[in-house]
Amino acid sequence: MNATQPIRLGTRRSRLAVAQSGLVARELERVSGRPVELVQITSEGDTNRASLASLGGAGVFATSLREALLAGECDLLVHSLKDLPVEQAPGLIIAATPARVDPRDVVITRDGTPLAELPKGSRVGTGSPRRVAQVLRANPGVDVVDIRGNIDSRMQQVRDSTLDAVVLAAAGLTRVDADGGETPTVAGLYVEAQNLPGWPTAAGQASLAVETAADADPQLLAWIGELDAPLTRFAVTLERAILGGIEAGCHAPVGAHAWTSDSHVHVRVDVYGADHHEDVTLDHSEPIAAFESLIEGYIQARGSGAAAGSSDLLVRAREIGDGLARRLLENGAADIVTREAAPTT
């Protein structure tokens, strides 16, 4: 790399995207000793106000950024991992996944009424098919409203009574407030965090993906590798393997969350049908043999590009995810996913 030029980090223009890219930029400056500048790029998801479901969901926020990276307009990208298609884009690699923050969803209301106790006909906003299903499981009497827009605009719809509640990611609230603003984003509103075992979130939620070219400068890859968190990478790789195994997109009505403790992995997956009688749920725990050795091997490989992706740690994560996907399909998830993917007229 040219030692006189700053590292160029491509990001969407939204407040959240800029905030989370800024977090990565500061860490990259710390490990590299080089300045990092943000290159703001407009994606289709930022300009097209149609629902995410109608846009196809997967990749709607990533395509323009990836085109800019491949064209040499920037050196790396920062994405919300949950918005990335499971299939890796040709010529690119996810070079790091920094430590995941709070993965839960939260429900925002004016008066603190829990979601389950909102009166019949209350208007709850979300653009996610998964969250639609979860809201209706918690309270079948509410009306779910398809919404788009940034965090601030969604909050405002609650404040001005256009909506009675919105569902958001806790991680997004944490990151937009990380710039040290005096007034928290949720000021004057109430936050109800949802319990992960009963409300699993999107695969990769609360994790960032730092993406760059597969043939990027080895020094850049090494610097990016310093930002990587092995336990986060293991968990989100497993979650995304489940999505890929059941052939569900990143905006399908599927909640998948994995976490580790004491050399064990724990996984909760819900595939949501047309009503709760069709839902397919899976709870799974298993020990990971030689887990510490797998992590050590991964740490040695990270920062070397594609080698990290083929490390034994991530191979094991994919094996577990693939096995769980097969169980879900055998238990009825195939019918749900096929129906959700069918074209409408």
Token couple for 214: 């597969």
CA dihedral sign of residues 136, 137, 141, 142: negative
pLDDT tens-digit map of 50-102: 554 544 444 667 999 999 999 999 999 999 999 999 998 999 999 999 999 99
Whole-number Å distance between alpha carbons of 337 and 325: 12
d(CA 69, CA 210): 12
Q: Which of 246, 240, 242, 229 is nearest to 299 (CA)?
A: 229
DSSP 8-state class, residue 251: T
Q: Give the separation between CA 144 and CA 166, rounded to whole angstroms.
A: 9
Look-up of token digits 């949802």: 194
Condensed to tens digits (0 to 9), the pLDDT of residues 181-230 reads 677 889 999 999 999 989 999 999 999 999 999 999 999 999 999 999 99
CATH 3.40.190.10 domain residues, the chain: 7-101+203-341, 105-194
Q: For domain 105-194, give the fold.
A: D-Maltodextrin-Binding Protein; domain 2 (3.40.190)
Chain segment 127-159, per-residue pLDDT in tens: 999 999 999 999 999 999 999 888 999 999 999
Q: How far is CA 81 from CA 137, 208, 229, in A?
A: 26, 5, 14
Give me 173's structure tokens: 């609230």
Look up the CATH number of domain 7-101+203-341. Answer: 3.40.190.10
Using an 8 Å Cβ cutoff, are 231 and 294 in contact?
A: no
pLDDT band at 344 (very low <50, low <70, confident <90, very high): very low
Three-class DSSP category at 309: helix
Residue in the block written with tokens 């989370």: 20
Grouping H, G, I as helix, E, B as strand and the rest as coil, residue 44 is: helix
φ, ψ for residue 76, nearest 5 deg: -160, 165
What is residue 88's DSSP assignment?
P
- Which amino acid makes up residue 21? S
Q: Backbone phi, then psi, for 277, in 5-degree steps?
A: -65, -25
pLDDT score of 248: 84
| Mean pLDDT value across residues 298-306 | 84
Question: Token pair of 79, please?
Answer: 């994405």
Burial 258-285 (b: 16+ CB within 10 A, else e): bbbeeeebebbbbbbbeeeeebbebeee
- Tell me the chain's radius of gyration from C-alpha atoms: 20
Check: CB of residue 331 under 8 Å from CB of residue 273: no
- Residue 314 CA to residue 306 CA, distance in Å, equals 12
Separation between Cα atoms, residue 145 and residue 159, nearest integer Å = 16
- pLDDT class of 4 with cuts at 50, 70, 90: confident
- The answer to whether 270 and 254 have CB atoms below 8 angstroms apart is yes
